[in-house]
Chain A
């Protein structure tokens, strides 16, 4: 069985691993992590792009074949996200934008309502919008209606490495939403990324777990492989998990008991 490509807004990607670029200790690690993982979509905070200095400009470290996904990190409401996105497009960073609206500096949970508003405005202006949300079915439906290219629910608190704490809510989105579901935030280990893919997520975005690892390029590759493994498992269909002892038929075994008894008598 062969996999199909991930398609977002009509563009095909072989890799289902999206990489975030924050928190890296140096830009060389970032560049090598993109290469080792073969990630084709890389997200960059607009607020962190240093336009004037080549050496510090993160964009210099992202190969040209990679799709640049700017993000609106730092925006506290829809209006700020919209203004940042427009500034990014006007500065020549393309029209793919991850909407991130966070108005809580303690938990960093996204504001779903403001995210929907920003998505409506930016989709109408021709942006390809990938909104980041706390998993919620109604929000996801509103985003699809607004024209979102994907829906990106969080697995757990951003940067927490806690994995799929929101598993059941993400499963609902996978079941009900027709645009690609990209699990974003909280994925701290390749096994957790594989789990998301086995559930049927279309892709996974990882940042902290790669950036803060001892060897970012190596763990980036591990994530990419886990995502591929999880995807294949999903496509093949996971075998049903069974209780350990399954030799007898506790509910219908009696049918055969009787049969046995009859046979003995005959």
Chain B
């Protein structure tokens, strides 16, 4: 599908065309995934960050309290997430080699292995050998969003830090795959640049990855820019209508790809998108370091404000009432060797 076709689809406002697209996507999703929905919980380990990304609550210039959890602290947070019933964890940090080096992440992975079957990281981009170390330590998944594929816009919103290097970031999922990672998640931050152009470039990125590393399970996220503590750092002009089409179109282009949805989106939209194409969702999330068990709400500094605050058991009940099968474990720990 070329760029013009994607633009036309996103601009088409006819009710029957969006319904048709959604229906096709829904059928493909059911055929490929049945009614299984994987659940995961995010854990923010640290908000130290050396990159200045204008839209992010953790950016290096933002005067917030910087925290890095110590092992006994993240263990407590992990226990909390585990007790909610989740068995897949996504551990996140700001982008800081200095404060959250590979050794720190390996230690966190070792503790997380005691509580979770699936371990993913969303941290600063690394080198292949570092990913190999993390893979051997039990990390199976890497999430790395390009944020936008528009180079000019990319330079405007990524002012300093490693993240300034567009090409290094673009090649990151390839390095993670080379290191043996099982799941790789890509994404664009909707609201930064033209959605159709970003979508087109994301599809190319994904296609290139699929051809080079066919064994990896890929998934895609389309976070829409959110307020941070009610403050707008950037705005997202992608409305629900277009958002639905982006989900549906991605399903048609990549029938097997996982589609993630975070708690940034409102419950009503989340519930409907499940029918159309979503296969993985976070639940019961807190996006602040120490937010589950360590800090009172007024002291928390979230990366973004969440809109779906329903706890895990409520999400599970909802999924079941809608005839979905909530999936908690999708992998077993085996010794990882690259």
Q: Which residues of A come within 8 Å of B, CB atoms? A: 22-27, 46-50, 53, 56, 74, 76, 79-80, 83-84, 87, 102-106, 108, 159-161, 208, 211-212
B153 on interface, CB distance cutoff 8 Å: no
User: Cβ of A87 and Cβ of B332 under 8 Å apart?
Assistant: yes
B20 in the interface, Cβ–Cβ < 8 Å? Answer: no
Q: State whether the Cβ of B34 lies closer than 8 Å to any Cβ in chain A.
A: yes
A62 to B297, CA, bound (A): 45
Q: Show 23 A/B contacts (Cβ-Cβ < 8 Å), sorted by A.
A: A22-B34, A22-B36, A23-B34, A25-B34, A25-B323, A27-B325, A47-B331, A48-B329, A49-B329, A49-B332, A56-B328, A76-B182, A79-B337, A83-B334, A87-B332, A103-B214, A104-B214, A104-B215, A105-B210, A105-B217, A106-B210, A106-B214, A159-B32
Per the 8 Å Cβ criterion, residues 66-90 of B in contact with A are 85, 87
Q: How far is the CB of B326 from chain A (nearest CB, A)?
A: 8
Asked if B310 is an interface residue, CB under 8 A from chain A, the answer is no
- Residues of chain B with a CB closer than 8 A to A47's CB: 117, 329-332
Question: In whole angstroms, how far apart are the Cα atoms of A79 and B324 in the complex?
Answer: 33
Residues of B89-144 at the interface with A, using a CB-CB cut-off of 8 Å, are 117
Residues of chain A with a CB closer than 8 A to B217's CB: 105
Contact partner of B35 among A25, A49, A79, A160, CB < 8 A? Answer: A25
Q: How far is the CB of A195 from chain B (nearest CB, A)?
A: 21
User: From A211, which residue of chain B is reached at the shortest CB distance?
Assistant: B34
Q: Can you name 15 extra interface pairs (CB under 8 A) apart from A27-B325, A47-B117, A106-B214?
A: A23-B33, A23-B34, A25-B34, A25-B324, A26-B323, A50-B87, A56-B326, A74-B330, A84-B334, A102-B215, A103-B214, A105-B216, A105-B256, A159-B31, A212-B30
Least CB distance, A174 to chain B, in whole angstroms: 28
Contacts of A208 in B (CB 8 A): 31, 34
B292: CB under 8 A from chain A? no
The 0/1 profile, CB within 8 Å of A marked 1, for residues 287-324 of chain B is: 00000000000000000000000000000000010011
**Contacting A161 at CB < 8 Å: which of B31, B215, B324?**
B31
CB atoms of B215 and A105 under 8 A apart: yes
Interface check B327, CB cutoff 8 A: yes
B154 at the interface (CB under 8 A from A): no
Quick check: is B218 within 8 A (CB to CB) of the other chain?
yes
Please indicate the chain B residues that have their CB under 8 angstroms from the CB of A23 in the complex.
Answer: 33-36
List chain B residues, Cβ under 8 A from A49. Answer: 329, 332
Cβ of A24 and Cβ of B34 under 8 Å apart? yes
Contact call A74/B323, Cβ cutoff below 8 A? no
State how many angstroms separate the Cβ of A92 from the closest Cβ of chain B: 14
